[in-house]
Amino acid sequence: MKKVLLLWGLVLFAWSVQAHVGSSGVVLQGKAGEYRILVNIQPPDVIPGTANVTVYVENGGATRVQARPIYFRSGDEGAPTYDMLEAVPGQLGQFQGIVWLMEGGSSSVQLVLEGAKGKGEFVVPVVAVSTAERDMPAGLGWMLTALGLLLLVLLVTVIGASVSDGVLRAGQSLTTPQKRKRYRNMGIALVACLLILYGGGSWWDSWAATYKRYLYKSLDAHGSVVDRDGQRLFQFKIDTTDFNSKRGSGYLSYLVPDHGKLMHLFLVRTPGLDAFAHLHPERTDSTTYQSYLPNLPPGKYLVYGDIFSYSGFTETLTDTIDIPELASNHTEIKKTDPEDTYVVTDPLNKPKQVPLDENVVVCGQPGTRTTLQDDSYVVWEGKANQVFEAGKPLSLNFAVFTPESKPAILQPYLGMAGHAAVVRSDGSVYVHLHPIGTVPMAAELSLKNRIADTARVFKRADSKIFRDSIDRHVAMLKQMPEAERESYLMQEMGMDLGADSTAHAGMEHGSVVSFPYAFPKAGQYRIFLQIKRNGRVLTGVFDARVTDPVL
């Protein structure tokens, strides 16, 4: 047991930027000392590159905000100096600026605020990866080519003149030997310049090929549904073909749990987004995860599987699968994990087109009352028929009431006040939200531990020992009584749902759950809200319309 705890101490250095698809921005809400802030970071798609940082100071009167990057491998000892963020004219409490991210992989942005309430610090985990290539505009390319040819001609001419014309006196002309010497040296200069250009071009092509090789590409994974004693068993297998070029040997042995689970799996039926499941598959080997399916209706499903590396690198595995009809002669469906849940709702743009039963809810909208499975209800705070603006950070506030219309007391679910999955109608955007934003609280706390460590390079444990310790830890959590497990997870993440001393907004114990987020692009979205009351996980479904920003 001591070995397990020792290795788990290493895992505390792991931090995870919340997984996503099509939503690269990081939105995080919390407290920097006495300052309540909302941070929005748009990382670059090319490394090295600049991340755009926006800080909204909601209280405290901060007058000075600084930011710097900190990389997981080098820690605080290898971090550069702070850059000043500029106050936005006419926007009280809003600061903007850029931070250079020079290294790829797990990193963070450390903020320091100063003002009327003293000094406060805040850490925002960020994944820095190259996901794009920059193409040179055609006009610029032709202009640079013409200038290059001109410089080549001038250089060759100057070299030729330096070995011939320089020996002439006034009124003299070149002799035949001198002309031959001139042309010979010009030829040598031309060949030398062409060889230099060829070498430079080859070096550039080699560098570009290496860049393309390590250009970030999500891991390939393939889902399937097999029959296991009359039950539908979902299997998710990670493709390790050419794996070393993507992540390196042993990568999958260094996965760590988030909220006590090695994988968070979301299934959403397409095209109507009318069936949803949040499952937690078990790891059978380093590449395969499996979970029994609940009573989901048959159809084609979008698959999103979140996994987390010890270094903080977080990925979402995606696929599309066909789920067959469940055999009618089975009355009891097996559960792989006690927190596995599902819900059925009305199809997108076809309200109330589904028969009601205990696992069916009617989809809601901003400003409306939406009934949950236990007859409690949720009000998404906002105006009726509200339309949201893409790219604008906002807070999605959900107030929960008992069937008697009293504020409901929520229980922690997987160590937090609530969870939400956001999916765009075409599946191109997916994000798993928490009340602090797109990043779990464990991420910030783990980064603080890494910053406090003076080691320039983080050393990882033996892969087999590491993986075995993680498997034992996850199994231990699974065997705990529910209340004890939730308490353990909250303590592990540094949470205190009942205290004002928490470093994060939106985590206070009560009836309202808030999720900071910025919709990345225009379109129609569906939000699956998950909370817990009286020992039961409840899922509410809501639709949102998002338009392009008004310029």
Tokens of 34: 């006495």
pLDDT at 499 over 80: no
Own/partner pairs for 453-460, CB < 8 Å, 24+ apart?
453/13, 453/75, 453/76, 454/75, 454/76, 454/77, 455/75, 455/77, 456/74, 456/75, 456/77, 456/78, 457/73, 457/74, 458/13, 458/72, 458/73, 458/75, 458/311, 460/10, 460/254, 460/310
pLDDT of residue 12: 33
For domain 221-442+498-547, which CATH number applies: 1.10.3720.10, 2.40.50.140, 2.60.40.10, 3.20.20.80?
A: 2.60.40.10
Range 469-474 average pLDDT: 89
Range 513-542 average pLDDT: 93
Q: At what angle do helices 138-162 and 176-213 cross, to 10 degrees?
A: 150
Residue-wise pLDDT for 184-235, tens only, equals 888 888 888 889 888 988 988 888 887 777 777 778 899 999 988 889 999 9
Beta bridge partners, 168, equal none
Q: Is 56 helix (H, G, I), strand (E, B) or coil?
A: strand
* Position with higher pLDDT, 416 vs 130: 416
d(CA 324, CA 492): 39
Residue 215 exposed, middle or buried by CB count within 10 Å (0-12, 13-18, 19+): middle
Dihedral of CA 172/175/181/183: which sign?
positive
Confidence of residue 530 (pLDDT cuts 50, 70, 90): very high
What percent of the chain has pLDDT above 90? Answer: 33
d(CA 326, CA 294): 9
Cis peptide bond N-terminal to 271, omega within 30:
yes
Confidence of residue 134 (pLDDT cuts 50, 70, 90): confident
d(CA 75, CA 447): 9
Least confident of 166-170, 364-368, 418-422, 423-427: 166-170
Torsion region of 367: left, alpha or beta (phi above 0 gives left; psi -120 to 50 gives alpha): left
CB atoms < 10 A from the CB of 110, how many? 20
Confidence of residue 502 (pLDDT cuts 50, 70, 90): very low
What percent of the chain has pLDDT above 70? Answer: 81
Mean per-residue pLDDT over the chain, rounded: 82
| Closest to 526 (Cα-Cα) out of 442, 427, 435 | 427
Pairing status of strand 231-238 against strand 536-547 = unpaired
Tokens of 519: 């919709």
Tokens of 447: 């980064």
> pTM for this one?
0.79
Torsion region of 549: left, alpha or beta (phi above 0 gives left; psi -120 to 50 gives alpha): beta
Dihedral of CA 243/248/253/259: which sign?
negative
d(CA 381, CA 370): 11
Within 72-137, residue ranges assigned H as helices are none
